[in-house]
Amino acid sequence: MGRQGGRGDAAGDGARTDAAAAAARAALVRVIVADGGLTDPAWRAAFVRVPRHLFVPYYYVAVEDGFEQVGRDHPDPRVRARWLSGAYADTPLATRVRDGRLISSSSQPSLMARMLEALGVHDGDRVLEIGAGTGYNAGLLSHRLGEERVTTVDLDPEIASSARDHLAAAGHRPEVVTGDGACGWAAGAPYDRILATCSLASVPPAWVAQCRPGGLVLAPLATGLIALRVRNARHAEGRFLHTSAYFVPLRGGPEPQPVDTRSLPSGVLDEEPFPFLLALTAGRQGPESAYELWEDAHRPGRERFGVTVRGDRQWAWLDSPDGPHTWPLGDGAAVGTAGPRGR
C-alpha cells in the first residue's frame, strides 16, 4: 500500500503541476496579447496549447558568482514552484552553460510570438528552423503547421538530442537534425520559410538557395530582425522589422567583435536604435561615422535599413539598396555592442 500511495502522490503532484502550468500559459498569453502580440488566432492557440515547461526541465539564473540551476526535479517544493513560474515568465531563459559561458537559451516568448507571426506562414507551408535550442519554437511551429512540415537544425548533438526528447514529451516529432545551421538542410529543400534563432554577421547563401522563390528568410542580424523575400536561389532582399532582437551567435560563425565607443557622446548608446546602427555599420566605418550618419539621417529607425543578397555579394543599406549609404556584410563585418539575451 505504501508503494501505491507513492504512485498516487506522484500522480497528484503531476496533476497539480499540469493545472498550474495551464493557468500560467493562459496568463502568459494574456500578457503577450495585451502588449499587441499574438493577433493571429492560430498562433495564440499554439501558445496556449504547447507546454513550455516541458522544454525547460531546468534553466540557469544568474547569481553573483556565476549561474544557479533551477529545475523541476529539485527536492525543495519552493524551488520547483519558482521553476514553473519562471518557465512561463515573459523572459529568456538560459538553458545551456559551459565553462561559465551561455551557449543556448529559450527566447523571450513575446519575441518568439512576434517572429512567428512575422513569418506569415500559411497552411501547408514547410519551415526550416536554424537553431533547435530547447525545441519549444519547433513545438509551436509543429502545432501550427503539422510536425511533418517542420525541420530544425542544431550544430550541437547534445542540444539536438534534448530538443528531440522535449518535443516527443510534448507530443511532437518534427525532423531534428544535427548539423551546421549555416549550411541549412538541403535534403528537405525547398522550404517556404527559413527562421533563424541565432544572430548572424551575414546571411548564409545556402538559406537563400534552399528557400523557394517568394519565400521568406527571417533572421537576427546586428541586434535587429531582417526579413528577406527570396527572388531566386541567388537573390533575396528585405528590410528590418522595428523590434530589437538579441540572440546567441550562430555557432561556428565569426564572433562579434567589440567596438571602442569611448569617442561617442555620453548617453548615445542608450538611445534606440543607435546601438543597432553601430552594430550594423561600425565594422566598416567606425563609431564616429555611424553617429554622424545617424544624426544626418534624422535618427532613422530599424525599418529604414535593409539587406540585399545577390550572388556572392551582400550588403546592408539605409533607405535604398542602391543609395549612397551601403555597407558590405560578411567576414565578421557586423559587430556586437551587447551580449546575448536569449534564443
For the chain, the first-to-last Cα distance in angstroms comes to: 46
Q: What is the pLDDT along the chain (343 residues), one digit of tens a residue?
A: 444 444 445 556 677 888 999 999 999 999 999 999 999 999 999 999 999 999 999 999 988 888 889 999 999 999 999 999 999 999 999 998 888 788 888 999 999 999 999 999 999 999 999 999 999 999 999 999 999 999 999 999 999 999 999 999 999 999 999 999 999 999 999 999 999 998 898 999 999 999 999 999 999 998 899 999 999 999 999 999 999 888 878 776 556 667 788 889 999 999 989 999 998 986 666 788 899 999 999 999 999 999 999 999 999 999 999 999 999 997 533 333 322 333 3
Question: Is the distance from CB of 87 to CB of 166 less than 8 angstroms?
Answer: no
The verdict on residue 93 lying in a domain is: yes
Q: What total number of domains does the chain contain? A: 1
Domain that holds residue 32: 13-197
DSSP state of 201: S
The verdict on residue 314 lying in a domain is: no
| Residue recorded with cell 554622424 | 292
Strand-pair partners of 175: 151
Active site residue 263: no
* CATH number, domain containing residue 98: 3.40.50.150
What pLDDT is stored for residue 315 in this prediction?
Answer: 95
What pLDDT is stored for residue 250 in this prediction?
Answer: 79
The verdict on residue 60 lying in a domain is: yes
**Number of alpha helices (DSSP H) and beta strands (DSSP E) in the chain:** 9, 14
> Letter for the amino acid at 88?
Y
The verdict on residue 103 lying in a domain is: yes
The verdict on residue 302 lying in a domain is: no
The verdict on residue 247 lying in a domain is: no
The verdict on residue 8 lying in a domain is: no
If phi over 0 gives left and psi between -120 and 50 gives alpha, with beta otherwise, what is residue 106? Answer: beta
> Letter for the amino acid at 258?
P
**Selected catalytic residue, list 104, 142, 199, 244:** 104
The verdict on residue 225 lying in a domain is: no
- Give dist(CA 188, CA 205) in Å, integer: 16
